[in-house]
């Protein structure tokens, strides 16, 4: 049972690292900049999920939905502002 728990934890942690690395790569490939705010957005969702499930005893599915929605609502304004600033003055492709 301990091996199964370690395997599941390892796959979950590796998946999070992989998604974070993919986000860094896509940002670098498109704009040639590194955005370290991606890590803080991921940690916001993880800490919120932990707090809801462990501290407040929420059911897993509800806590995941609330944590994802909260992290997205915190990341969306900065992302929209960055995209609007970077697209301003760029040539339109049609």
Residue recorded with tokens 């940690």: 43
Rounded distance between C-alpha atoms, residue 27 and residue 35, angstroms: 7
- Measured at the alpha carbon of residue 84, what is the angle toward residues 33 and 34, in degrees to the nearest 5? 10
Residue 38: how many CB atoms within 10 A of its CB?
18
Of the candidates 35, 46, 40, the residue with the CA atom closest to the CA atom of residue 83: 35
Rounded distance between C-alpha atoms, residue 44 and residue 58, angstroms: 17
**Domain boundaries of the chain, sorted by first residue:** 1-34, 36-94
Of the candidates 51, 53, 65, 19, the residue with the CA atom closest to the CA atom of residue 38: 19
| pLDDT tens per residue across span 46-77 | 899 999 999 999 998 999 999 989 888 887 77
pTM over 0.85: no
| pLDDT tens per residue across span 23-50 | 888 888 888 888 777 777 788 888 999 9
């Amino acid at each position: 049972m301990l091996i199964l728990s370690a395997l599941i934890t390892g796959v979950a942690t590796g998946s999070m690292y992989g998604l974070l690395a993919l986000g860094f790569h896509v940002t670098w490939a498109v704009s040639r900049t590194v955005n370290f705010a991606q890590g803080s957005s991921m940690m916001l969702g993880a800490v919120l999920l932990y707090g809801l499930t462990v501290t407040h005893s929420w059911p897993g599915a509800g806590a995941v939905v609330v944590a994802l929605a909260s992290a997205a609502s915190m990341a969306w304004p900065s992302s929209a502002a960055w995209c609007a600033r970077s697209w301003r003055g760029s040539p339109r492709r049609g």
